[in-house]
Amino acid sequence: MLRPHLLSLVMLFLVARPAVAETSAQFRIDPLAKVKIEGLSAKDTATFYAGVDAFTNHLASFPSVNTPTPPVCVALQREVFRVPMTPNQAQGKVNISYLAPMSRQTCRTAKIVNSSVEMNLNLAPFVDQNNAIGQDDAGWLLVPQTYTKVDDGVFLVQLRKHRYYVITRDREAALVPVTLERYLKFEERKVQQRVEEVDKSEQRHREWLARMHENFGPDLKKAPADLRDTYAKSIQEAEKNNQESRAKVSADLQQVRGRLASLSPEQRAQPACMESLKGGMATNVVAGPCKAPSLGLFAFNPELSKPGADKGTVRYLVVDVLDMRHSTEEEHNFNHRTQLMEHFDFAALARVLRSTGK
């Protein structure tokens, strides 16, 4: 529930005009629907939306964006998301979208989004169940194919078919290594959840037996011997399966807890590394250093999710690039997008980030 003294502030809808023309024959900037951001003052809210406009104007200044060669049509689609009931967190996004021209003079109908720039206010980006091996209380655990620094405060994170260029205001690392202790506690939690599932399965089995005896007990006594034998065997088989499942998860839980208990403080703090990766699953996780960079486990840097002194200041940007041609993407749009990202000036975008909020 909103605190009373913040209510009048978060109801504000702040409007800023872009510094470039919003429409042309082959280009447009879609209007931005402002949303409330819980916990921000009027000044901080204005700072955040000014950042969104600054990045929009920067992208709109690219000749390849505002005057693309026909038949390419480009739109900058802006939107802001917030986390319900979570103060001081929001995400602004500028999608570089390719449009289907309705006539030779105008570009009207959005076709498909292929890349975007996300402006994050204390909110972890690009991380979800589709590109992580799991989640613990501190966040998602990632296995990037590539994680490298490409410029001052600019980092490349390759996850599946996406390249994410993360630009941080204060040049903090985008990702941090997951320690062996954190990974083993993550595994312990997963095995404990399996134990709980076995408990539920056994409880369901007991409830089913009780219903069967209540509803059909007298009839079963009168049933032919072969039917009674079949029923008894089915119960025994179910109980055997439950016992084997419990034995397996109990052994797994004992193993991971034993391994965790055997680690020295130094080993616990070592980075977690996979010996190999098959089908997106870690085959065995050991203490670093890793045999290859692609075998390291990482998490989003938690420092980037902490509000700064100016709560409305954008902490980092994420440029999301899809490394494949979408099934419905026209070839000329794919070629334009590829060339745009090949010549993208990340250093210039970093300067825009570091100049906002001042």
Residue 103: pLDDT band with limits 50, 70, 90: low
Residue 131 domain-assigned (yes or no): no
Average pLDDT over residues 150-170: 90
How far is 312 from 52, CA to CA, in rounded Å?
A: 11
**Claim to verify: residue 14 and residue 89 sit in the same structural domain:** yes
**Claim to verify: residue 195 and residue 251 sit in the same structural domain:** yes
Is 342 a residue whose pLDDT tops 90? no
Residue 189: pLDDT band with limits 50, 70, 90: very high
Query: Cβ–Cβ contacts within 10 Å for residue 344, how many?
Result: 18
Closest CA to 341 of 308, 319, 325, 326: 319
Out of 248, 270, 292, pick the residue that ends a domain.
Answer: 270
pLDDT digits (tens, 9 = 90+) for 193-207: 988 888 888 888 778
Residue 166 domain-assigned (yes or no): no
Is 20 a residue whose pLDDT tops 50? no
**Claim to verify: residue 14 and residue 118 sit in the same structural domain:** yes
What pLDDT shows up at residue 261? 93
Alpha carbon distances (Å) from 69 to 72, 100, 224, 325: 6, 14, 83, 19
Spatial contact of 319 and 115, defined as CB atoms under 8 Å apart: yes
**Structural domain span for residue 185:** 180-270
What's the chain's average pLDDT? 78
Closest CA to 320 of 196, 158, 106: 158
**Claim to verify: residue 97 and residue 12 sit in the same structural domain:** yes
Residue 135 domain-assigned (yes or no): no
**Claim to verify: residue 10 and residue 118 sit in the same structural domain:** yes
Is 19 a residue whose pLDDT tops 60? no
Out of 270, 298, 325, pick the residue that ends a domain.
Answer: 270
**Claim to verify: residue 116 and residue 18 sit in the same structural domain:** yes
Residue 31: pLDDT band with limits 50, 70, 90: confident
Helix H or strand E segment including 277: strand 277-278
Residue 93 domain-assigned (yes or no): yes
Residue 232 domain-assigned (yes or no): yes
Average pLDDT over residues 81-103: 76
Domain count of the chain?
A: 2
Higher model confidence: residue 334 or residue 8? 334
Query: Cβ–Cβ contacts within 10 Å for residue 103, how many?
Result: 8
Beta bridge partners of 81: 91
DSSP 8-state class, residue 152:
T
Residue 312 domain-assigned (yes or no): yes
Q: Got the DSSP string for 7-52?
A: HHHHT-------SS-SB-SSEEEPPP-----TT--HHHHHHHHHHH
**Claim to verify: residue 106 and residue 25 sit in the same structural domain:** yes
Beta bridge partners of 318: 118, 166
Residue 261 domain-assigned (yes or no): yes
pLDDT digits (tens, 9 = 90+) for 198-249: 888 888 877 877 777 766 667 666 677 777 677 777 778 878 888 888 888 8
What pLDDT shows up at residue 275? 74
Out of 270, 297, 329, pick the residue that ends a domain.
Answer: 270
Closest CA to 54 of 17, 96, 95, 25: 17
Three-state SS annotation for 206-265:
HHHHHHHHHHHHHHHHHCCHHHHHHHHHHHHHHHHHHHHHHHHHHHHHHHHHHHHHHCCH
The residues, any chain, with a CB within 8 Å of residue 39's CB and separated by 6 or more, are: 6, 10, 87, 88, 311
Is 182 a residue whose pLDDT tops 90? yes
What would the two tokens of residue 208 be? 């089913």
Average pLDDT over residues 177-183: 92
**Claim to verify: residue 36 and residue 113 sit in the same structural domain:** yes
Closest CA to 88 of 145, 142, 26, 37: 37
Closest CA to 242 of 188, 217, 206: 206
Record the pTM: 0.77
**Claim to verify: residue 118 and residue 45 sit in the same structural domain:** yes
Higher model confidence: residue 17 or residue 104? 104
**Claim to verify: residue 322 and residue 231 sit in the same structural domain:** no
pLDDT digits (tens, 9 = 90+) for 132-155: 788 888 888 888 888 999 999 999
Average pLDDT over residues 89-106: 76
Spatial contact of 80 and 52, defined as CB atoms under 8 Å apart: yes
How far is 77 from 96, CA to CA, in rounded Å?
A: 7
Burial state string for 226-258 with b = 16 or more CB within 10 A and e = fewer than 16: eeeeeeeeeeeeeeeebeebbeebeebbeebbe
Residue 143 domain-assigned (yes or no): no
**Claim to verify: residue 186 and residue 253 sit in the same structural domain:** yes
**Claim to verify: residue 10 and residue 105 sit in the same structural domain:** yes
pLDDT digits (tens, 9 = 90+) for 241-279: 888 888 888 898 999 899 899 999 999 999 988 876 655
